[in-house]
Every structure is written in structure tokens, then in C-alpha cells.
Structure 1
């Protein structure tokens, strides 16, 4: 039973790959730098990656990396799932994002969710909240660094139930090797924190975040533009921050702890590992 992991170098995918391998499951990493090369923009690479695969963990690839924008990746993911079904794949665990079930079908991740649900494969959908690791890599770190350690976001005093990427990966592994077919899980941490509370926790760690200030959307756009980010990437992030400000990312849901049979890790534990 070979399990294919796409996004194998990403925040979650690398942990899924490592946890599966540690448990003794045959795995295959899907990335451009893997021994069997895989590229979402080159369908000719998909067949070799799928050969002999029974199960897949996949994430809709990001079309924005801050400096460029690639469209149509949702449609390519759907085509990949069709090829996987034709190749004999039986099970797919798909990771999207918290609240995606309420998104319109024009949103690529929601379109992929619906497409997967209409295949003949067994499927599980994981919808995690923001990761702890967004504070140590990615846009939140970049914005805090640009602000000399002060994170300035248009989110007000709203809370976020952050979750550890390693806990998300553990949920994915549980779904892959167990029987959780036709189930959807909202994955959050055990507590919801404001960004001011987050900054208070990280201030004495190696994480470069020492404070938080509320900003306007216009101020965020100006800062992100100075960083050279693509305008579509900035617009996407602004939409995500607007969702936070609305309270959409505040709920604490027991799905992750129920799935794992243990509590999820708290941000204070994550930060402690980064403390000198």
C-alpha cells in the first residue's frame, strides 16, 4: 500500500510524510525535486507518481507565492483526482481550509472538495485553521519582520484558534490509515487567542514577533506592496484577515482532539520550544 503525499515539502505535507514513514507505511513524495518528479503544471508527470499508489494525501496547490500568480490549479487538481481514480487509487484525504464548506463553488478549494465527493473513491476532508507555523514561516512572519517585530493586521481584537501543523499531519495520517470515509473535520487548536495574546507569548522566544497593532486594510495593502507581493496574493490575504476580523476563525472545535484521541498542542508549548 503506497501512500502518495503531494505538497510533500510544505508545512503539513512534510510532517505527513515523516509520520507515515515513522509508522512503517510505504510512502512516495510528490514534488518537483522528488526522485519521481511531480509538477502540478505538467500533467505528464502525474502518471508516474500515481503508479502503484493506493492512497493519497493532497492539498490544492497555492497559486500565489507572493511574487507570482498561477491560475487554474483547482481545475488541475480535479483532473489529477480523476487520473488517480482511473489509476486505481481507493482513498483520498484532502486538506483545504476552515470554513471552506461555506465558500462558493467559484473558490478553487471548494470546487475541488465537491469534485472529490463526487468520485467513487473513499474521501476525507480536513479543514484546518491557521497554523502555529504561520508565525515562524510564511506571511505572518514576513509581515512581523517588516514591522520590526510588530505584526500589523486589519483584524481588530478577533481571536484565532491556531493549530499545530504536526497535529494536522497526525489527523491526516489517522484518516489515511483508518476508516474515516465520507467525513469532514474542522481542525482547530484547544484555545482561541487574539494576536495581542499571541505576541505576548512569542515576545521572549526566537519567533520574531514582539507586539501587535491593529491596522486598516489600506495600511496592510501598502505594507504588503512594499514587500513586493503580487496584488492577487495581497487581495487573498486581505480576504483571510477579513474573515478573522469577522470572528470566523475563533471557534474551538473538538474534531482534531476527537480524531487523535488526545489533546492538541497549545501555542505556549510550541513557543517554549523556540525559547532561548
Structure 2
């Protein structure tokens, strides 16, 4: 009798990790929900995991053959801790790995780009998901959501640049698909929503759906860098400010068919997600 597949979901308390783990559990798959704290996903086996604590890695990998990899947040060089873990994972029998990167980070680029480059040489079955900016940035715990709830503003250095914002639920649906598909989906997939929106347009949708005025306040790249550096490492703040500057120059003005191609259904629109998330927050 073959051993059932077991997926280790890192970042299981995060925006995409929790959703991915929940989808896998609902579909009847065996899941280990990895996190530093004790906030397990219902139906998943909780396991303590810390990228920076190698002592937590063997137990997380024991009996695991698939990985959902969420890089440690805020680390400008996650490859330093991720690549040794992935070497250990391959030696432990893991055969499929799915990495969460970002649409703004190419293979071999900064942050998760080095892990992206290494993945095909480490595993026969792999995928790199490069979602655009999350729609949940405006409804969850992100700085945008905090400033919207605080004073009705969205602060960016994006100017008139547009972004193909994507629903975290759609990212999780794609992740669950590529983790469990019987065939190997070796691919680099850029994930977007159905349309590209400027932050002015985002503010207009938020105002209409929530009934509360929201405005987009435009900052310079330097102003944004200084603002972010107050709550995160300066190097990471600079990288995020540079990403906003790239958006202003059109780097994220695109939509792809990846969500529909990989899940069989179209991606959710921004207004739909805001209504859904706002309703869930009100209910809580």
C-alpha cells in the first residue's frame, strides 16, 4: 500500500498559507500546518516551524513529500535560510515544491528570486507562483488596510501606475492545484486578477463598496521609503519603495490567464472581494 501524500504548508497562519492549507484539508489531503506559534488550521496537523531555527526542520519534514514554501517575511535574502532547508527536504524524500514569490521578482532576482532559480535543480516536480499585489492588502492587516481604517487614505509612490491585483483565495486555489495535480506542473506562473487598476481606481471602489470615503495619497519614492523604514528594516523598505516606483513606470500593468488556466474558473474581481472581505470582517 502506498503512503498517502503529505503536504507541509509553511506560513500556515498567513494570507495564502492558511487558505492553501484549508483548501487541501477540505479536499481530503493530509496537511502539516507549519508556523512558529500555536494557531493550527482546522483538520491539519500543527507543527512548530521556524525558518531561522533548523532544530524545527526535521520534525516538519518527517513523512512529508510536498512543500508549499512561503519565504520568511521581511527578509531581503531568504535564500540564506531557505536553500539549506530545501537541500534537507530533498534528502528527506520531498519530491514536489511550490514556491510563493511575486510578480515583481523574476527568476534570479532579489528576495525569493534566488530560491526560484534553484528550485528546478532541487526537485523534479516544482512550480513558482508569482502573484501580483494582493487584494487583501486593502482589507486585512497590511499597512494599506490600517491606513484606510485609520484615516481613509492609501499611501503609495505608484502615481498613475496600474496593478493586476489578485485575490488571495485565487492564489490558494492555484497552489492547491499545483500541489496535488497528478501530473507535474513545472512552471513559473504570474497570477493576476481580471483587470489592472490604479490606486486611484482602488480608492474609488473602496469608497463605493464600503460607503466610507477613501483617497489615494501620492508620495515620492523617498517619502515612501522613509515612511516604511519606521516599521521594517531599511533595506526591505527601500525594496518596497522601488517596487512602487516600478509600478509608476508600468511594470505591473498586465493581466494573465494563469488563474483560470490552472483552476478552471476566472479570477475574482476587486469589488467582489472587497464586499466578501468586508462582510466577513463585519460578521466577526
- Establish whether TM, by shorter chain, passes 0.5: yes
2:236 alignment counterpart = 233
1:5 alignment counterpart = 9
| Aligned counterpart in structure 1 of residue 85 of structure 2, from 80, 85, 92 | 80
Alignment map for 1:55-134 (pairs within 5 Å): 55-62=66-73, 64=74, 72-101=77-106, 104=109, 107-134=110-137
Alpha-carbon separation, structure 2, partners of 1:162 and 1:183:
21
* Stretches of structure 2 lacking an aligned partner (at least 5 in a row): 39-45
Worse-matched range after superposition: 176-185 or 166-175? 176-185
| Alpha carbons of structure 1 residues 192 and 261: separation in structure 2 relative to 1, 3 Å | same
Alpha-carbon separation, structure 2, partners of 1:81 and 1:51:
13
- Check whether the contact 1:151–1:209 (CA below 8 A) recurs between aligned residues: no
Alignment map for 1:170-209 (pairs within 5 Å): 170-178=173-181, 179-206=183-210
| Aligned counterpart in structure 2 of residue 218 of structure 1, from 217, 222, 228 | 222
Alpha-carbon separation, structure 2, partners of 1:250 and 1:94:
23
Worse-matched range after superposition: 212-221 or 254-263? 212-221
1:141 alignment counterpart = 145
- Check whether the contact 1:155–1:245 (CA below 8 A) recurs between aligned residues: yes
TM-score under structure 1 normalisation? 0.89
| Alpha carbons of structure 1 residues 233 and 108: separation in structure 2 relative to 1, 3 Å | closer
* Stretches of structure 1 lacking an aligned partner (at least 5 in a row): 65-69
Q: Is 1:31 aligned with 2:31? A: no
TM-score under structure 2 normalisation? 0.87
| Alpha carbons of structure 1 residues 6 and 145: separation in structure 2 relative to 1, 3 Å | same
**1:73 deviation in Å?**
3.0
**RMSD (Å), alpha carbons:** 2.1
Higher relative contact order (CA 8 A, sep 6+): 1
In structure 1, the residue corresponding to 2:47 is in which secondary structure? coil
**1:257 deviation in Å?**
1.2
| Alpha carbons of structure 1 residues 89 and 103: separation in structure 2 relative to 1, 3 Å | closer
| Aligned counterpart in structure 2 of residue 54 of structure 1, from 60, 65, 78 | 65
- Structure 1 runs (4+) greater than 6 angstroms displaced: none
- Check whether the contact 2:6–2:31 (CA below 8 A) recurs between aligned residues: yes
Q: Is 1:258 aligned with 2:261? A: yes
Alpha-carbon separation, structure 2, partners of 1:59 and 1:81:
12
